[in-house]
Homo-oligomer: A and B are copies of this chain.
Amino acid sequence: MTGSHAIRFTVLAKDLSTHGRAGILETPHGIVETPTYMPVGTQGTVKALTPEQVRDTGTRMILANTYHLALRPGEDVVQQAGGLHKFMGWEGPILTDSGGFQVLSLAPMRKIDDTGAVFRSHIDGSLMSLTPERAVQIQNALGPDILMVLDHCPPHTATPEEVRDAAERTLRWASRCRDAHGRDDQALFAILQGGGHDDLRRWMAEELSALDFPGYAIGGVSVGEDRSEILRVLGFTAPLLPEGKPRYLMGVGSALDLVEGIAAGVDLFDCVLPTRNARNAFLFTREGPVRIRNKAYERDFGPLDGNCRCYTCKKFSRAYLRHLYGRGEILASTLGSIHNIQHFQDLVGDIRRSILEGRFAAYRESFLETLKTFETPGEE
């Protein structure tokens, strides 16, 4: 099964000059206004934040990592706890990835064939395997609202033949995941591979659409290619996916990626950028990035972002944040993460309103102009 009745997706408004749309995603654990940004809770916690702090940023859905949770504490522990929502105290919707991406990026000595992936745990080196059936089984045990098929995501350096093989394998695996999926209260999303090859992307979109999944993700993006290629593939691929289903861009998420992804027709995003940058004292504001350790903020008693309504900006000064980061205080990561996530939620919220009010084109133009005035917002 695909769990297509577990969720319901409604497009409320479409932008006329782009593929952007505003919608509503109903899940077993609540309603999500789309487009939305999902903070990443790798180990069953959005780092440095309580569930209430996450929710207070406007976050409605989060992502958790199957690979990490399956290794530790083990999906059986999570299942026995009553599922991931209960285990981690997050009452809203959860999406889990399949673990395939981590197998490829973290695990040493992997071997992939049609059966699945054989790899060594990055924790203790023990030999493990991840098949499409096993990926679904783990996610059935974890209990998210949305689970992902196992896919084969080749690196940017793969040959055209390797990219084609991976795409074809991903398609076969999608069918096997569908057959293995055993819970009708979880929606199974398919993943589009195909690298930078338009013909492959189009072919996969057609094949996967025919399988009628309740949602579709764009994979194989941001795996080492440059920014312009990301945006080209995104702009070409997203519109190929079924109009009435939610579209999810996996693991990509600078502010620019969000705006351009939404313009391409994407509804769901996840990225570690806001929380990871927050832990590295790199904070986003409407006037550009702030490296808060900078001496310039020593006596800056104003808020981090005067237009931000987050807890951190309402309560604390740049001088205090600089002091906390300078001392290596845990509270720095908490306050920075709250702000950076709120910044992203406000961004997608602003975009959503601009789509509903028919002024997304103007918003996007103004956003891109403003972005040019910033220093390069790098990942740290």
Contacts and interface: CB of A to CB of B under 8 A. Distances in A.
B43 A320 contact: no
A330 B330 contact: yes
Contacts of A73: 298, 319, 322-323, 326
A4 to B, nearest CB: 32
Nearest to A46: B331
A47 B331 contact: yes
Contacts of A81: 301, 317, 319-320
Contacts of A47: 329-331
A333 interface: yes
B89 A329 contact: no
Contacts of A298: 73, 77
A375 B81 CA distance: 28
The listed residue with most B CB atoms (<10 A of its CB), out of A89, A316, A323, A327, is: A323
A323 B87 CA distance: 10
Interface residues on A, range: 35 or more
A261 to B, nearest CB: 29
B323 A43 contact: yes
B89 A49 contact: no
Interface string A41-78: 00111011111000000000000000000001100010
A316 B52 CA distance: 13
Interface in A300-339: 301, 311, 315-317, 319-320, 322-324, 326-327, 329-331, 333-335
Contacts of A48: 330-331, 334
A307 B301 CA distance: 42
Nearest to A43: B327
Contacts of A45: 324, 329, 331
A316 B73 CA distance: 15
- Copies of this chain present in the complex amount to 2
Given A43-B329, A327-B72, A299 B334 contact: no
Contacts of A49: 331
A90 to B, nearest CB: 10
A157 interface: no
The listed residue with most B CB atoms (<10 A of its CB), out of A44, A72, A299, A330, is: A330
Contacts of A44: 320, 323
A294 interface: no
A80 interface: yes
Contacts of A361: none
Nearest to A327: B43
A88 B320 contact: yes
The listed residue with most B CB atoms (<10 A of its CB), out of A45, A82, A88, A317, is: A45
A47 B333 CA distance: 11
Contacts of A334: 48, 50, 330, 334
Contacts of A299: 77, 80
A326 B48 CA distance: 15
Contacts of A323: 43-44, 72-73, 77, 87
A276 to B, nearest CB: 12
A66 to B, nearest CB: 15
A68 to B, nearest CB: 8
5 contacts: A43-B324, A48-B334, A73-B323, A77-B298, A80-B299
